[in-house]
Amino acid sequence: MSAERNSIQRLFMLSALIMLLAGLLFGLLSAMEYVFPAWLRPFAGFEKLRPMHVSAVLFWILLGATACVYGGLEKLLPASVSQRVMRWQWALWLLAIAGVLYSYAGGRFGGREYWEFDPVWALPIGLSWLLFLFNFFKAVRKLSIWPVYIWMWMTGIVFFIFTFIENYLWVFPFFRERMITDMTIQWKANGSLVGAWNQLLYGTAFFLMERIGNGPKTGRSRMAFAMYFLGLFNLMFNWGHHIYTLPTAPYIRHIAYAVSMTEWIFFIRILYQWRKQVSEAKRLYHYYPYRFLMAADFWVFVNMGQAILMSVPALNLYTHGTHVTVAHAMGTTIGINSMILLAAAFEFLPEGRRFGKGSRLLNPAFWSAQISLFFFWLTLNAAGLYKGFWQMKTTRGSYAALMSDMSPFFIVLLISGFFLMCSLAAIAIVLLRTWFSNFRVNADAGSTDK
């Protein structure tokens, strides 16, 4: 039974890693469309490749976060979750992924920003998340004292289903026919959705830090809970800086700006901890979960600084809707979220696992990913600022001329994106092979037990 249970849980991580590889491939093809615009136009084109890339990356994060929560619960409370519910949850995810890709391939979009697929395929995602909610509470009710990561996981799961439903209010004419209301809800929901899965991932980071530190202090300290409540506060109210450009009530923008500035507390905390983490890195450099957490911490530092600047209304006018926003999204998605998920993918591997020949790729791939991601992020910011200043000019040339002028940025993006894809793909393939080999061993053991 233990082998069967572990095999079902690992299906989520296997699926997440496959989605990561798909997201990397679609992302590279999308970048190539900027430099070679007619290359894939007869088959796919940017209008299909971009949403495929975005959806695959979203599914990597959500499936990976689900695997992390289940992996953590199995460590804390063995045999606490329903295996039948997990099977149905995974099956619904497979149905949704197949439906989304089918929808994009056939040119049937119909959705909204970041969820551009036919809305019918949101139903299995929502149902799977409700099963996740049930399974989580079924397990954690056995805990008398909740460490901070249990609170974060609970918050992420509950707020995700709430904001996911809110994200689809546009299907009702009452909201869809009121443009300002519709756009406000859409941008608010997307901001809150990011905050929801950040809670899942930051909870995973606290869980991993506690395991690496060999003690319960990290997940039960006052500072950890202070950071949790500050993160919850931002999740609930920080979305306001997404709607600076909409004609909403001034107090909403004022509150949003004040909430955004509380992120300085995170920023100062990271700076304070930096020296200690550098000394720890010398001792734990060989340990990949710690190394990826250190990388995530660096990108939290970088993206927090960028988020604070983007929250200043005067600067937001220049950055909103440009590649600066994309740079922030890429830095967050790859630098923070993906690094935490990769740390967890290493940590939750079974005892005695072997990487085989692929172990020689891990160290160069790790550093190549960090360096290429930095150049990728830097170039996106430069391109975004160039476009932002162009947008604010009273007299400007055609958009086609702008895109032609920005071609050097796109070439650097393509080159750095290629190295980033190869680096992350190498890490993902090593992990995928290792997870799959252990999945087969456990599945065979389960069938033998029967």
pLDDT tens digits, 405-444 = 888 888 888 899 899 999 999 999 988 888 777 655 555 5
Per-residue model confidence (pLDDT) at position 450: 42
User: If phi over 0 gives left and psi between -120 and 50 gives alpha, with beta otherwise, what is residue 310?
Assistant: alpha
Question: How sure is the predictor about 297, in pLDDT bands with cuts at 50, 70 and 90?
Answer: confident
Task: Give whole-number Cα distances, 260 to 88, 233, 309, in Å.
Answer: 39, 10, 10
Instruction: Output the pLDDT for position 55.
Output: 92
- CATH T-level assignment (fold) for domain 262-441: Cytochrome C Oxidase; Chain A (1.20.210)
Instruction: Give the global pTM.
Output: 0.86
More confident residue, 215 or 348: 348
Compute the C-alpha angle 282/284/285, nearest 5°. 65
pLDDT number for residue 303: 83
DSSP secondary structure code for residue 350 in this structure:
P
For the stretch 6-27, pLDDT in tens is 567 788 999 999 999 999 998 8
- Lowest pLDDT segment from 169-183, 259-273, 289-303: 259-273
pLDDT per residue over 303-357, tens digit each? 878 877 777 777 777 777 788 888 888 888 898 899 999 999 988 876 656 565 5
Top-confidence residue, 310 or 302: 302
- Cβ-Cβ contacts under 8 Å for 156 (sequence gap 6 or more): 65, 196, 197, 198, 199, 200, 201, 203
Sign of CA pseudo-dihedral 70, 75, 77, 83: positive
Share the mean pLDDT of the chain.
81
pLDDT band at 212 (very low <50, low <70, confident <90, very high): confident
Report CA-CA distances (Å) from 196 to 83, 94, 120, 201, 324: 25, 22, 22, 9, 22
Q: To 10 degrees, the CA torsion angle through 197, 198, 199, 205? A: 120
Residue 1 is predicted with a pLDDT of 37
Per-residue pLDDT reduced to its tens digit, 110-136: 888 788 888 999 999 999 999 999 999
